[in-house]
Structure 1
Amino acid sequence: MYGLLEVHNPENATSDIVFVHGLHGDREKTWTKNSVFWPQKLLPLDITDARIFSYGYDANIAHFWARPADNRLDTYSNDLFSQLNNRRAETPAANRPLIFVAHSLGGLVVANAMVDSASNSYQSLSSCIRGIAFIGTPHKGSAKAKWAQVGRQIIAYFGKSTNPELAKDLEEKSEKLAKIGDVFPKLLKRRNEEAKGRIELVCFFEGQPMNIGMIVDESSATLSGYESILLNGNHSEICKFGSRDEENYTKVVGHLMKWTREFENSGTTEEAKKVTNDAYFYGTNNGLQQHTNSGTMTLNFGMRN
C-alpha cells in the first residue's frame, strides 16, 4: 500500500490533486468512511477535470521523530516528488497545476519536499504547486519543545502501538521538524511575492477531541496569514467523508473546486500555457507523432524498435 496510487484520470485533466496521509495512516483507509474512498468515489463527481492520486508510505512515528542522521522523512518526501515527477513526465502534464491535500503529519511530508526541492532536482515540480489543503497538520515553527509536545500527544493517542521510550528524548529528536517549521513559512512568503508563483493555502482544524484531548488544536493547525476553517470531528474523523452532503466534505472540496477553476481560467504559468498550446511528441515504431490542437501527424525518421 505504499507509493503513488492513481485513482482517477480523465482525458481532459487540467490539474493534478495528490492526497498524502498522516501517521499510522494508509493511502486509502485514511480517506475512507463507510467503505467510501472519497478521493475516488466522490471527488470526481465535483471536479471532473482533475487527475487524482493518493500517496502511501510507512507512517511510523519513529520516522518523524528521529535524529537527522537517520530521519526517513527526507526519504518519503523525496520519493513522493520522484514518483510524481515521473508520472507527470509520461504525459504532456509536466507543468500542470498541482494541488496537495494532506492530513496530519502528511502535511510535513509535503512541506519538507518543497523545502528540499530548493537544493535538488525537483524545483520545477515544486514551482507547479498552486494549492495546499492542510487537514489537522501541526505548524509549530522552530521551537523543538513545541514539536516534542505534539509527539507526546500522538504517542499518547496511539498508546501501546508505539514505543513509550520515544517520549524520553523527543525534544532532541525534533530538530528536523523545527527546521521545516522555520523554513517552510519563509518559502511560502517568497512564492507569494512572485506574481505567477502564489500558492493558495487553507488550514483545516479539528473541532472535537480524541479520548486524550485535542491532537492538533486550532493554534497549532493554522498558519499566520492564511485562512483557517473548523471541521466538525476529531483528528481521525476530519479527513473521512461518506457523502457529498456532509458539511465537512463541502468545506474541503469547495476550496479544491474554487482553485481548479481559477487555475484553469487564469492559466498557471507561461510554461504551463506553452505545454498546453504547443506541440508535444512521443515515439512510435516508425517515427514520432506530433500532437497539436489542430490534429496529429506522423514524422518518419526511419527509427526502429
Structure 2
Amino acid sequence: MRRTFILLWTLCLLCLAAVPLAHADALKPRVIVFVHGLHGDRETWRAANGAYWPQMIQTDPHFRNSDVVVAQYPTPSSHGQYSTQQLSEILYRSLQSQHVFDHREIVFLAHSLGGLLTEEMLLNHPDVAARTRFIVSYATPHEGSFVASLAKIYDSDPLLTDLSDNNDNNFLIDLEQKWRGTPSAVRIHRYCAFETQDTAAGEGIGRYLHAHTRVVSFYSATYGCDVDTPPQKIDADHIGIVKPVSRTADAYTFFARVYHNNPVLDTVELTRDNRVSGLTVECNKTNTASDLQVPVALDPTLHEQLLWASAEFVDTDKVHDDAQPTVTKTDPIGVAHIAYSFKGQGKSLLIVGCPTGRASILVHFHIRGQVPLNE
C-alpha cells in the first residue's frame, strides 16, 4: 500500500513539474526526448563550461523541425524503491503529460539506464513504438555493469539488480529477447556510443567506487545496436559522455549525424497511373474478366502504401462501354484486382464486314508515401 501511494505521489509531482509543449496544432513534426540515467536529473546534460545539450539543439537550425523535451523520473542517490519496469511506466506518464506522443515522430537520446527504460517503455506501449524512429544510447549497459553488481551489495535499490552484469540477469535477458521478437520494436534503429575513460570515485554512480573504474564496458554499451552504423567512441567517462562542451564535440556530432541520416519524413498522397492496352473484342462478342491484376511500382524507401484504386475505360473504339471497370480489391504489395466487361459493335450498313473493337483500361492508384523534409 505504501509503495502504491509513493508511486502515485511521484506521478503527480512529475505531472506538475512537467512543462507542457505548445498546443498540438503548433507541435513540430518530430520531438527529441532526452532521458537521463541512474542518479541523473535535468543537469545530466550540462557540461563544465555551462553548455546545455538540449538547449544547444533547440537553437541549432539543423534541428528546426524538432521540439526538445528533457524527461525526468525519480532515481535517488541511494535506496531507491522502483524497479526498471515501474520507472518505465512513470517515464511514460510523464512524457504523455508533456504531449510527446502527439508528435508524428519521436527520437530518444538516452544515457545509461535511460536507454533501458526507453526500450522497456516502447515494448509496453506499441502505439508509441510505432511513432519512434530511432534511439541513440550513450553508455547504456545492455549486458549490465560490474559497478551495479558491486553496488547492490551495499544498496537495496532494485535498479542495481536490473543493471548488474550477472549471467542470470533475467531483466536484461528478457528485455533483449522481447525487443528482437516484437515487430514494432525491431523496426526501431538503435545507435550506440561508448565511454573510453574510467570514472573516479565521487558523487552519483561514483559513490560505489573506490578507484577509477570503467562503468559500462564497450561490449555492454554496444550490444544489440545497429551494425550498419559503427558505435561512436566518446573520449569521456560515464558521467561526461553526455556533456558535450560544444557542437563540435563527438557526442553532439554523432547524434547530429544519426539524426540527419534518418530525416524527418513528411506524409504525402499522390496518384500513379498504369494503363492496360491492347484489349480487343470481336463483332457482337463480349470481352470479360473477373480478376485482371494490374500492378503499380511502390518505393519502399519512401514507405509507400497503396490506399485504394479506381479504373476507367479509355481509348475505346467500336465498342459498347456503358459499364466502367470495377476494382474489386487491392493488395498491399501494389496490385489492383479488376473486373470488367465490354461488348463489340454489331454490323453496320455503312461498314463492310464486322469491325474488331478495341479498349484500354486506365487504373488510378492512390498512394500514401513519405518524403524527407529539408533541414
Q: What CA deviation, in whole Å up to 9, does each residue of 1:190-243 have, x standing for no partner?
A: 45x56x971111111001112322110101111235242211111111101121
1:80 aligns with 2:91: yes
Q: Distance in 1 between matches of 2:153 and 2:170?
A: 24
SS of corresponding position for 1:130: strand
- Which residue in the other structure is 1:51 paired with? 67
Q: CA contact under 8 A between 1:77 and 1:112: conserved in structure 2?
A: yes
- Which residue in the other structure is 1:303 paired with? none
SS of corresponding position for 2:215: coil
| Counterpart residue identity of residue 53, structure 1 | V
Q: What CA deviation, in whole Å up to 9, does each residue of 1:150-191 have, x standing for no partner?
A: 4145x4xxxxxx993549xx669969x934422333343345
| Counterpart residue identity of residue 135, structure 1 | Y
Q: CA contact under 8 A between 2:71 and 2:95: conserved in structure 1?
A: no
- Which residue in the other structure is 2:324 paired with? none
- Which residue in the other structure is 1:164 paired with? 154
Percent identity for Structure 1 against Structure 2: 24
- Which residue in the other structure is 1:105 paired with? 113
Are the structure 2 counterparts of residues 253 and 239 from structure 1 closer, same or farther at C-alpha, using a change threshold of 3 Å? Answer: same
**Map 1:54-69 → 2, pairs under 5 A:** 54-60=70-76
Are the structure 2 counterparts of residues 225 and 63 from structure 1 closer, same or farther at C-alpha, using a change threshold of 3 Å? Answer: same
- Provide the alpha-carbon RMSD of the alignment: 3.7
Q: CA contact under 8 A between 1:23 and 1:104: conserved in structure 2?
A: yes
Q: 1:151 aligns with which of 141, 148, 152?
A: 148
| Counterpart residue identity of residue 79, structure 1 | I
| Counterpart residue identity of residue 183, structure 1 | D
SS of corresponding position for 1:164: coil
Q: Distance in 1 between matches of 2:155 and 2:83?
A: 19
- Which residue in the other structure is 1:36 paired with? 51
Q: 1:255 aligns with which of 241, 255, 258?
A: 258
Deviation at 1:5, TM superposition (A): 4.7
Q: Distance in 2 between matches of 1:133 and 1:267?
A: 23
1:181 aligns with 2:172: yes
Q: CA contact under 8 A between 2:29 and 2:103: conserved in structure 1?
A: no
- Which residue in the other structure is 2:291 paired with? none
Q: CA contact under 8 A between 1:63 and 1:71: conserved in structure 2?
A: no
Deviates more, 1:9-18 or 1:102-111: 9-18
Q: What CA deviation, in whole Å up to 9, does each residue of 1:120-150 have, x standing for no partner?
A: xx3312322221011011011xxxxx55x34
Q: CA contact under 8 A between 1:103 and 1:137: conserved in structure 2?
A: yes
Q: CA contact under 8 A between 1:20 and 1:102: conserved in structure 2?
A: yes
Q: Which has the larger radius of gyration?
A: 2
- Which residue in the other structure is 2:279 paired with? none
TM-score with structure 2 setting the length: 0.54
SS of corresponding position for 1:209: coil
Q: Going by fraction, where is helix more abundant, 1 or 2?
A: 1
Q: CA contact under 8 A between 2:180 and 2:186: conserved in structure 1?
A: no
Are the structure 2 counterparts of residues 23 and 188 from structure 1 closer, same or farther at C-alpha, using a change threshold of 3 Å? Answer: same
| Counterpart residue identity of residue 107, structure 1 | G
| Ranges in structure 2 where 5+ consecutive residues have no aligned partner | 1-12, 201-211, 268-300, 306-375
Q: Distance in 2 between matches of 1:87 and 1:238?
A: 26
1:237 aligns with 2:240: yes
* Larger RCO, structures 1/2 (Cα 8 Å, 6+ apart): 1
| Counterpart residue identity of residue 184, structure 1 | L
Q: CA contact under 8 A between 1:77 and 1:113: conserved in structure 2?
A: yes
Are the structure 2 counterparts of residues 223 and 76 from structure 1 closer, same or farther at C-alpha, using a change threshold of 3 Å? Answer: same
Instruction: Kindly tell me the number of residue pairs found equivalent between the two proteins.
Output: 237
Q: Distance in 2 between matches of 1:173 and 1:185?
A: 13
- Which residue in the other structure is 2:214 paired with? 214
Q: What CA deviation, in whole Å up to 9, does each residue of 1:4-48 have, x standing for no partner?
A: 456899946111111110112112x11111222121233541211
Q: Distance in 1 between matches of 2:21 and 2:240?
A: 21
- Which residue in the other structure is 1:205 paired with? 194
Are the structure 2 counterparts of residues 82 and 214 from structure 1 closer, same or farther at C-alpha, using a change threshold of 3 Å? Answer: same
| Ranges in structure 1 where 5+ consecutive residues have no aligned partner | 65-69, 141-145, 156-161, 271-305
SS of corresponding position for 1:205: strand
- Which residue in the other structure is 1:18 paired with? 33
Q: Distance in 2 between matches of 1:251 and 1:4?
A: 28
Q: Distance in 1 between matches of 2:102 and 2:147?
A: 36
Q: Distance in 1 between matches of 2:140 and 2:22?
A: 25
